[in-house]
Amino acid sequence: MTGSHASAQAHAMLETLRRDAIGLDVHYQLATGERTRRIYLDSTASTLRLKVVQEVLDRFQPHYSNTHSVLHFSAKLASREYQWAHRMVLDFVHADAATHMCFFTGSGATAGMNRVARTLREKRPERDLVLTSIMEHHSNDLPHRKHFREVIHAPAILTETSLGSIDVARLEELLKNHGARVNYVAVTGVSNVTGIVNPIHEIAAMAHRHGALIVVDAAQMAAHLPIRMCGHADASQDLDVVVFSGHKVYAPGSPGVVAARQSLFAGIEPQDVGGGMVDTVWVDRYTVSDRFPDREEAGTPNIPGAIGLAGALYALERVGMETIAAEEEALVRSALAKLATVPDIVIYGDPDAKRFRRTGAISFNLKGLDHALTAAILNDYFNIAVRNECFCAHPYVREMVMLSLAEDAERLDNAALERLAEMHRGMVRASFGIYNTERDVDALVHALREIGARRDELAPLYRRLANGDYEHIRFRFDPAQTFSVKGEVDRLLG
């Protein structure tokens, strides 16, 4: 096949996935009374699902069977696919199946990171410190704090405008200063707030030079960039552990995934014990299987979750993550440029894509407007779904908000500055998946311009609730009018 033919085929497959994503033609009634199509810009929280994956799961359902059953036809089929799901994950992250393994966890990347922290503490108890960064989601911070004596957060590079990627020079100093105590360096591949991409392989080589391991939170990487755990010409750039979750990679449910060097988990008592992970059990003792992933997956696994996730990864791999990455980075660059033209907008994170690669997400505020109010108006008047607040990354958000207020600090008195800081205790985040297009970006830019221009008319239509959210004074959305499980069961049973 020629290069251009392969590329045309990749784009055709991407177009199929994009066009058929489930939820692109959902309509809701707005505060204006109009009924319009929802524009989904919240993929960093959870992506929409792929129809291809849903269809595959529908076809699997009649064969569903417990993978701990062995000899009947459905059990053979389900077990084969469940095993394939593990191989698919290793393939997707370019891990060597001879040295690496993966296992699925219950609740997203968070469950995975907790498992990693506890295991590595037990594996290397003499190393009681973890280095992470200011950019991390709480899931790649609090598990390390819980299990280790000390966690140090490396800063992000401070540029003249804002923050960039992790400051690797500072990280290296921390490694030099704390060398023998550092168990691992845990960093995110892509920020869930700014979409800034971190140089994880450079960090890996640095960590390895100092005897530390590298753990990558790939929750925001998996859908947007290729992941290469193994096979670098310089093997010190290989990754020891990668964690991500299915609901951020177009899969239904929220299986989490840990891919890791087998040697790191070998010999450590698994966190959960029960069926499926033991060889023999007597009343006074049991022997844990030394097979991966069995020993890490006690109990009946989330079989459809794992298969759905692997199906999604396979579909992405058929398109090619390089193709997806190039398209998404181009969309984010264009969105950054277009958003920068909106009056009174503050975009967080250094916006110069030549200095810092960005993908997946952009966070911003309209000056003088509470993030929660902006998000509520975007929803109620423009049918644009975004996330707001601190995105489980409080330290990073706080630091960028305070930096952005530095200019105001010179001209405002203390009370006014505090009001502004309180208002901007969070941000609005627009985030993207393979199904988003320039039209969605244009719709967001248009909406933000309108909100800015009509703020005196729109803001008084909302009251602030005790929890910081905003409620329209007249318009109400009753979710049950659109969908309820009970209602659907009643309808189907008659």
Ligand X SMILES: Cc1ncc(COP(=O)(O)O)c(C=O)c1O
Q: What distances in angstroms separate CA 413 from CA 370, 404, 409, 419, one per listed residue?
A: 19, 16, 7, 10
CA pair distance 431, 361, nearest whole angstrom: 4
Cα Rg of the chain (Å, integer):
24
Taking CB under 6 A as the criterion, the residue among 14, 17, 109, 372 binding ligand X is 109
Backbone angles phi, psi at 48, to 5 degrees: -70, 165
Q: Which two tokens stand for residue 99?
A: 């040295």
Residue 398, C-beta contacts closer than 8 angstroms, at least 6 positions apart: 390, 425
Q: Tell how far CA 154 is from the center of its chain.
A: 21
In the complex with ligand X, which residue's Cβ is closer, 218 or 316?
A: 218
- Shortest distance, position 217 Cβ to ligand X, whole Å: 5
Window 223-262: residues binding ligand X (CB under 6 A): 245, 254, 256
- Shortest distance, position 50 Cβ to ligand X, whole Å: 18
Q: Which two tokens stand for residue 104?
A: 């699925």
In the complex with ligand X, which residue's Cβ is closer, 305 or 311?
A: 305
In the complex with ligand X, which residue's Cβ is closer, 201 or 449?
A: 201
Window 135-154: residues binding ligand X (CB under 6 A): 137, 139-140
Q: Which helix (H) or strand (E) holds 40?
A: strand 39-40
- Shortest distance, position 88 Cβ to ligand X, whole Å: 18
Task: Give the interface segment with ligand X, choosing from 132-140, 293-301, 310-318, 343-351 (CB under 6 A).
Answer: 132-140
Task: Give the interface segment with ligand X, choosing from 102-110, 274-282, 327-335, 397-405 (CB under 6 A).
Answer: 102-110
456, amino acid identity: D
Spatial contact of 45 and 52, defined as CB atoms under 8 Å apart = no
Taking CB under 6 A as the criterion, the residue among 42, 167, 217, 399 binding ligand X is 217
CA pair distance 197, 188, nearest whole angstrom: 8
The answer to whether residue 198 forms part of the interface with ligand X (CB under 6 A) is: no
In the complex with ligand X, which residue's Cβ is closer, 17 or 222?
A: 222
Taking CB under 6 A as the criterion, the residue among 43, 67, 162, 220 binding ligand X is 220
Site string for ligand X, 258-297 (x = CB under 6 A): ----------------------------------------
Taking CB under 6 A as the criterion, the residue among 43, 47, 67, 110 binding ligand X is 110
CB atoms under 10 Å from CB of 2, counted, come to 7
Window 169-188: residues binding ligand X (CB under 6 A): 188
Q: With the C-alpha atoms ordered 426, 107, 326, 383, is the resulting torsion angle positive or negative?
A: negative
- Shortest distance, position 34 Cβ to ligand X, whole Å: 31
Taking CB under 6 A as the criterion, the residue among 49, 94, 104, 108 binding ligand X is 108
Residue 109, C-beta contacts closer than 8 angstroms, at least 6 positions apart: 139, 140, 217, 218, 219, 243, 244, 245, 248, 256, 257
Residue ranges binding ligand X (CB under 6 A): 108-110, 137, 139-140, 188, 192, 217, 219-220, 245, 254, 256
